[in-house]
Amino acid sequence: MNNISEMRLPDPSLRRASSGAPRHYGWALFALAAAAFGIGTTEFVIMGLLPDVARDLAVTIPQAGLLVTGYALGVTFGGPVLALMTAKADRRKALLFLIGIFITGNLLCAVAPTYALLMAARVVTAVCHGTFFGLGAVVAASIVPPKMRARAIAMMFSGLTLANVLGVPFGTALGQALGWRATFWAVVAIGVVAATALAVWLPCNIPNQSTSLIAEARTLRRAGVWLAMSISTVSSVALFAVFTYIAPILQDVTGVSAHGVTIMLLLFGAGLTAGNAVGGRLGDWKLMPTLIGGTVALIAIQLVFHWSAVSMIPAGITIFLWGFLVFLIIPSIQMQVLHAARGAPTLASTLNQSAFNLGNASGAWLGGAAINVGVGYGELPLIGAAASLVGLGVVLATVLQDRRARKAAAAHDDAPPAAASACAAE
């Protein structure tokens, strides 16, 4: 189904909420974006603080790096469990509960006296990550008019893109100047502001499409759900197989300084932000064409990066366009998951965050394995392009699956009542 505005939601209360929300949903989306900003900052800022954390807690840099792995595993495995636990809960209360976990986890990070306790605190924080983004995407899509659902999801995820542009650089600078614990105290403050905004601006009657835990779990029997989540995983593999090693690529291949790497990362973040905004509008207009066209463009830009990485200005332009295309397709991917899991979307939407994180870890491993067998940094974009080509195949398979599902639904609707009853009996 290419046009999201054509989607029909089975829950009439959802349509009433959507049509009655225009006066309020803007502030509610801002509150969701503020929470996404805090969550994105705490996830990625630890990378810039690893030397400080390692020195303060008397561990090695690789041990400190496991704090990143622990967080990713918390998102991947903890999120779905928490999603099932909150499947039938009031949406507003569930989001406030999750942001409460986020605040508590970061507070524990700020005061953790040992490495083990810091690791535990990071895992506690991560558990709410996938569930918040999964449930938040469902809520964002449910409180706006039908033609604005992808844009609403993009608005929420704009907090995540801004975390990469502003939260991580400033959080790293704060931690380097005042100690790494100061960064986590700042994130706690962001969490309190976000929690207040959610409490004030989230509607009190957000509809819950989930009928039961069994209904949520049954969505995983649909091939379309797994195909949509596979797009998330493969797109993340394509990104992180290259982006994990962007600093050595820029320093060794492009020849920029450490300060130049920061500028390049800001360009990438600016591209993410712009792509997220444009991708939301395109996803509302034409979902599948946006996914197909965006993935094809990603293949092309990664092939270009293989050649443009040798010169600073072409590399900068390519990196901006790369970031733009990466987040151009994110709202459409999330909307495809919600479409495939319609009727019980919360678990699938949360698992989609796990799929992204699985791709992050797999892509970083793939890039590292390639380097270990002698692949040069300048060749990594070719690996990213190959992964995106696989992603294009998954997108096309999703299109075929959607067509089969529509034909099956049409055949079911056209069947005479007796035949329908016979099928039901079988």
Q: Cα(79)–Cα(13) distance, rounded to whole angstroms?
A: 27
Classify residue 130 by burial, with Cβ atoms within 10 Å: 0-12, 13-18, 19+: buried
Closest CA relative to residue 6, chosen from 410, 341, 330, 339: 339
Q: Cα(93)–Cα(166) distance, rounded to whole angstroms?
A: 29
Give me the pLDDT at residue 210, please: 58
Closest CA relative to residue 198, chosen from 135, 149, 145: 135
Give me the pLDDT at residue 212, please: 60
User: Which position has the token pair 């997220």?
Assistant: 276
* 204 backbone dihedrals φ, ψ, rounded to 5°: -85, -10
Angle between helix axes 25-57 and 168-178 (nearest 10 degrees) is 40
SS3 content of the chain, % helix, strand, coil (to 5): 85, 0, 15
pLDDT by residue for the chain (426 residues), tens only, comes to 333 333 333 333 333 333 344 446 789 999 999 999 999 999 888 877 877 888 899 988 778 877 877 888 888 888 888 887 877 788 899 999 999 999 999 999 999 999 999 999 999 999 888 889 888 988 998 888 888 888 888 889 889 888 878 888 888 888 888 999 999 999 999 999 999 999 999 988 776 665 566 666 777 778 888 888 999 999 989 998 888 788 788 888 999 887 787 788 888 888 988 998 898 888 888 888 999 999 999 999 999 999 999 999 999 999 999 999 998 998 888 888 888 877 667 777 778 888 887 887 788 888 888 888 889 989 999 999 999 999 999 999 988 887 887 777 666 655 554 443 333 333
Let me know: does 102 contact 38? Beta carbons within 8 Å. Answer: yes
Q: Cα(187)–Cα(195) distance, rounded to whole angstroms?
A: 12
Let me know: does 284 contact 149? Beta carbons within 8 Å. Answer: yes
Question: Which domains, ranges and CATH numbers included, belong to the chain?
Answer: 12-208 (1.20.1250.20), 211-410 (1.20.1250.20)
User: Which position has the token pair 């990469």?
Assistant: 164
Q: Cα(265)–Cα(260) distance, rounded to whole angstroms?
A: 9
Let me know: does 349 contact 338? Beta carbons within 8 Å. Answer: yes
User: Which position has the token pair 């993410």?
Assistant: 272
Q: Cα(116)–Cα(121) distance, rounded to whole angstroms?
A: 9
Give me the pLDDT at residue 406, please: 74
Closest CA relative to residue 303, chosen from 382, 243, 391: 382
User: Which position has the token pair 């069947």?
Assistant: 415
Distances (CA, A) of 376 to 9, 251, 364: 49, 13, 15
Q: CB neighbours (10 Å) of residue 236?
A: 24
* 12 backbone dihedrals φ, ψ, rounded to 5°: -60, -35
* 115 backbone dihedrals φ, ψ, rounded to 5°: -60, -40
Tokens of 333: 């991917």
Q: Cα(403)–Cα(411) distance, rounded to whole angstroms?
A: 12
Q: Cα(168)–Cα(174) distance, rounded to whole angstroms?
A: 10
Q: Cα(140)–Cα(341) distance, rounded to whole angstroms?
A: 16
Angle at 208 between CA 207 and CA 212, to 5 degrees: 160
Q: How remote is the C-alpha of 71 from its chain's centroid?
A: 14
Tokens of 380: 């990594």
Let me know: does 110 contact 98? Beta carbons within 8 Å. Answer: no
Q: Cα(139)–Cα(312) distance, rounded to whole angstroms?
A: 42
Residue ranges in 329-344 assigned as alpha helix (H): 330-340
Let me know: does 232 contact 361? Beta carbons within 8 Å. Answer: no
Tokens of 262: 């920061």
Closest CA relative to residue 331, chosen from 202, 193, 72, 144: 144
